[in-house]
């Protein structure tokens, strides 16, 4: 009988040790996940704070609408696929135009990227760097846009009313 209680005690201690190991391991994994999420969120907020743009010029009158935007922030914008353009028509509301590398109706395309003095970009081609002007063309039909809004991939908008 004494051996049975000794075995039960040893078994109980082993179960307690395994439970403590599992709890400690899951706590470490959870803290690592939370730490990584906080770091990612901080990086995203820093990019949002460093992103800003200003409309330099735009054409009005008909399709395509051409817009020149100066990157006044400190963050380069690398992926145009995440930039959205919205056109507002007072009778129909807002219309979304997504990026496409070739001109097509219902989309916008990048015509050129130039330095602030309108010379060809010299460094980091096909990337909209701070101080550079993005010339975009928006093809539309069936609406009369009165204003437009450009939203970057990290959620920073710029509105312009004609």
Q: Which pLDDT belongs to residue 127?
A: 86
**What is the DSSP track for 73-109?**
SSS-B--GGG-EEEEEETTTEEEEEEE-SS--TTEEE
Architecture of domain 53-161: Sandwich (2.60)
| pLDDT attached to residue 35 | 93
Q: Where in the chain are the domains?
A: 1-49, 53-161
pLDDT of 114 reads: 86
pTM of the model: 0.74
Those residues of the chain that have pLDDT short of 70 are 1, 118, 121-122, 162
Classify 150 as helix, strand or coil. strand
Kindly report, residue by residue over 102-146, the tens digit of the pLDDT.
Answer: 888 889 998 888 887 767 766 777 788 898 999 999 999 888 888
> What local confidence, expressed as pLDDT, does residue 162 receive?
60
CA distance from start to end of the chain: 93
| pLDDT of the residue at 110 | 87
Tokens 């690592």 identify what position? 32
d(CA 51, CA 101): 23
């Amino acid at each position: 009988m004494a051996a049975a209680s000794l075995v039960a005690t040893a078994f109980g201690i082993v179960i307690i040790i395994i439970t403590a190991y599992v709890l400690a391991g899951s706590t470490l994994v959870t803290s690592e996940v939370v730490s990584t999420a906080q770091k990612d969120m901080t990086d995203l907020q820093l990019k949002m704070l460093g992103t800003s743009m200003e409309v330099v010029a735009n054409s009005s009158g008909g399709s395509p609408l051409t817009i020149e935007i100066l990157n006044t922030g400190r963050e380069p914008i690398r992926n145009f696929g995440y930039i959205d353009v919205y056109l507002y028509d007072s009778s129909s509301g807002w219309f979304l135009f997504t990026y496409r590398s070739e001109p097509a109706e219902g989309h916008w395309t990048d015509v050129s990227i130039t330095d602030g003095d309108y010379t060809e970009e010299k460094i980091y081609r096909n990337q909209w760097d701070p101080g550079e002007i993005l010339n975009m063309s928006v093809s539309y039909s069936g609406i009369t846009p009165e204003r437009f809004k450009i939203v970057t991939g990290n959620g920073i908008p710029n509105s312009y009313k004609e």
